[in-house]
C-alpha cells in the first residue's frame, strides 16, 4: 500500500563533477525500480545532479533548509531556493545536525512545516542514542521527536507529504545495524504514535530505516512490514551498492 522510498544521504561528500558521475552511473542501474529513488546531495551539486538526472526516475534531495523565506541568515538556504534548483525532498533533523549544529526538536518542526507548505517533501529524521536505548526510553523518545516535528501539519499533509526516517544514532556510520526486528518494532511504535494524533494518516505515512544499511542487510530490513525504505549514508556513495539496496524494494 505504501510505496517504498530509498534515499541516499551523501552527507559532506562529492564535488559537482563527482556527483554528476555518480548519478550517471546510477541511473541505468535503478531505471526499473518500483520504489522512489532520491539522492540528497550537498547544495553545490544541485545543478550538476539536476542536469544528470533529467529523463531518469531519480529525484533530487537536499540535506537541510531554513524555515524563513529570506533574510539575514548567513549560510542558510530557503525552500524557494531549493525548489528553484529542482529539489523535491529535503532531509531535516538528521542526528548529525542535532549533534554538531545545535538542531533542536523545535527548529526541526519549523523546518518541517516550512518545507511542506513550500511543496517540498521533508525526510524527518528521528532516533535514539545508545545510552537512551539502554536506559529503556527509545519508544517514548522517538514518538516525542516525531510528534514535535509534525506539529502544525494536517493529517492529510502527514499522510501524503512527509517521510519519516528512523535512524538509531548508534547505527549511523558504525557498521552496527538495528536488527530487522528492532527496526520494525520501533518504526511500528512511531506509526502508532502518529496514529494517536493523526488517525489513519499513520497507515499512509512512509517511515524509512537508516543506519549502516547496505546491500547485505537491506533485504531483511526491507522485508519487514513496517519499514517503507531506507535512508542510506555510506553505501549511497557507490552506484553499485546503492542500486543493490534499491533492488530490494518491495
Ligand atoms: P550510514 O548508512 O553511513 O550509517 O548513514 C546513515 C545515515 O545517517 C543516513 O542519513
- Taken in order of first residue, the domains within the chain and their CATH numbers are 5-243 (3.20.20.70)
Round to whole Å and give the CA distance between 52 and 64. 21
pLDDT for the residue 250 = 59
What pLDDT does residue 175 have?
84
> Which distant-in-sequence residues (6+ apart) come within 8 Å of 18 by Cβ?
none
Strand partners, 89: 61, 121
Cα–Cα dist 171/121, whole Å: 24
Residue 157: what pLDDT?
Answer: 98
- The confidence score (pLDDT) of residue 1 equals 84
7 ligand 1 Cβ < 6 A: no
CA-nearest of 197, 199, 104, 91 to 145 is: 104
Give CA–CA dist 53/217, Å, rounded. Answer: 27
- Residue 163 — left, alpha, or beta (φ > 0 → left; ψ -120 to 50 → alpha)? beta
Q: How far is CA 107 from CA 58, 66, 78, 87, 115, in A?
A: 29, 9, 14, 21, 12
pTM above 0.95, yes or no: yes
Q: 75 is written with which cell numbers?
A: 549560510
pLDDT of residue 178: 87
The interaxial angle of helices 180-198 and 138-150, nearest 10 deg, is: 40
Distances, alpha carbon 162 to alpha carbons 14, 91, 112, in Å: 27, 11, 8
Taking the alpha carbons at both ends of the chain, their separation in whole angstroms is: 10
CA distance 202 to 196: 9
Atom number, ligand 1, closest to the C-alpha of residue 171: 4
Task: For residue 212, give the C-alpha cell.
Answer: 549502516
Catalytic residues: 94, 167
How many other C-beta atoms are found inside a 10 Å radius of the C-beta of residue 106? 11
Candidates 180, 244, 249; CA nearest to 211 is: 180
CB atoms within 10 A of CB 52: 23
Probe residue for ligand 1, chosen from 234, 241, 246 as the CB with the greatest number of ligand atoms within 8 Å: 234
Q: How far is the CA of 240 from the centre of ligand 1 (A)?
A: 17
**For ligand 1, mutation pick of 5, 183, 210, 246 (most atoms within 8 Å of CB):** 210
Instruction: Give the chain's residues under pLDDT 50.
Output: none
d(CA 231, CA 216): 15
Amino acid at each position: 500500500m505504501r510505496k517504498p522510498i530509498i534515499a541516499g544521504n551523501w552527507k559532506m561528500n562529492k564535488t559537482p563533477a563527482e556527483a554528476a558521475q555518480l548519478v550517471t552511473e546510477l541511473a541505468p542501474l535503478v531505471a526499473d525500480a518500483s520504489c522512489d529513488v532520491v539522492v540528497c546531495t550537498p547544495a553545490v551539486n544541485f545543478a550538476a545532479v539536476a542536469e544528470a538526472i533529467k529523463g531518469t526516475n531519480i529525484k533530487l534531495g537536499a540535506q537541510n533548509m531554513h524555515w524563513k523565506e529570506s533574510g539575514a541568515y548567513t549560510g542558510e538556504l530557503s525552500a524557494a531556493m531549493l525548489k528553484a534548483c529542482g529539489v523535491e525532498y529535503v532531509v531535516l533533523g538528521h542526528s548529525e545536525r542535532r549533534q554538531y549544529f545545535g538542531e533542536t526538536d523545535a527548529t526541526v518542526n519549523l523546518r518541517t512545516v516550512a518545507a511542506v507548505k513550500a511543496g517540498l517533501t521533508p525526510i524527518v529524521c528521528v532516533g535514539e542514542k545508545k545510552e537512551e536505548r539502554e536506559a529503556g526510553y527509545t519508544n517514548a523518545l522517538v514518538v516525542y521527536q516525531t510528534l514535535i516535528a509534525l506539529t502544525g501539519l494536517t493529517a492529510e499533509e502527514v499522510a501524503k507529504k512527509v517521510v519519516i526516517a528512523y535512524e538509531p544514532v548508534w547505527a549511523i556510520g558504525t557498521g552496527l545495524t538495528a536488527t530487522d526486528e528492532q527496526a520494525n518494532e520501533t518504526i511500528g511504535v512511531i506509526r502508532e504514535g502518529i496514529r494517536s494524533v493523526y488517525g489513519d494518516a499513520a497507515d499512509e505515512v512512509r517511515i524509512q530505516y537508516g543506519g549502516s544499511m547496505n546491500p547485505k542487510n537491506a533485504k531483511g530490513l526491507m522485508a519487514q512490514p513496517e519499514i517503507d525504505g531506507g535512508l542510506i549514508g555510506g553505501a549511497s556513495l557507490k552506484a553499485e551498492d546503492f542500486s543493490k539496496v534499491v533492488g530490494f524494494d518491495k
